[in-house]
Chain A
Amino acid sequence: DGGITQSPKYLFRKEGQNVTLSCEQNLNHDAMYWYRQDPGQGLRLIYYSQIVNDFQKGDIAEGYSVSREKKESFPLTVTSAQKNPTAFYLCATAAGPTEAFFGQGTRLTVV
């Protein structure tokens, strides 16, 4: 089954804990992206990666970290430095800087 898998769909964490969100793809796309979306708002770019072992900060990278050790995987860690981590997180992939395809998202709630 081809596509982008984000897991889990819902995630709860205590304040002050780091948490890692998973994004896996089998589309053989080079580019992968992480976006944050707050209720009723648009997509804000956190990090993106054009190739394995390389990634760039997006518009709101503070308090987040990523790695790109494999083409298929681009995990996002929400650290305790992120002051307001509760949000909907979306992962996307693309063959280039054009059509992007999204996962189903992970809704993170920090209590």
Chain B
Amino acid sequence: GQQLNQSPQSMFIQEGEDVSMNCTSSSIFNTWLWYKQEPGEGPVLLIALYKAGELTSNGRLTAQFGITRKDSFLNISASIPSDVGIYFCAGPGYDKVIFGPGTSLSVIP
């Protein structure tokens, strides 16, 4: 079945550093979604991508829809402590949304 993989599984970075994470799929997706989950809360949609090659920004966050349509990337510039959380990628499955396993981000002040 359709499956998403995310790397890295976890990251520990210093405040102010840039962050890069990615999501890959064994099959083609026509939409890529990125969510952030803060501790004890539900995930919140950050960015949605709808076209191969698309680059979309939301403040310090930038996400790209890979040309092959089998991957997507999320970058966070100049990280701050409130960036802490789990970042999930997601895409449309045959009859349901498919979520990746997440990348856990810790920011050291």
Contact = CB atoms under 8 A, between A and B. Distances in A.
Interface string A79-103: 0000000001010101011111111
Interface residues of B, number: 23
A102 B96 contact: no
A45 interface: yes
Interface string B10-26: 00000000000000000
A45 B96 contact: yes
B40 A105 contact: yes
Nearest to A96: B92
A54 B76 CA distance: 40
Contacts of B96: 31, 33, 45, 48, 50, 97
Interface residues of A, number: 25
Interface in B28-59: 31, 33, 40-45, 48
B42 A104 contact: yes
A100 B86 CA distance: 16
Given A97-B93, A98-B33, A99-B33, 6 more contacts: A40-B104, A90-B43, A99-B97, A100-B45, A100-B97, A105-B42
22 contacts: A31-B97, A33-B96, A42-B86, A42-B88, A43-B102, A45-B96, A50-B95, A50-B96, A90-B42, A97-B93, A97-B94, A98-B31, A98-B97, A99-B45, A100-B90, A102-B42, A102-B44, A103-B42, A105-B40, A105-B41, A105-B42, A107-B40
Interface of B: 31, 33, 40-45, 48, 86, 88, 90, 92-97, 99-102, 104
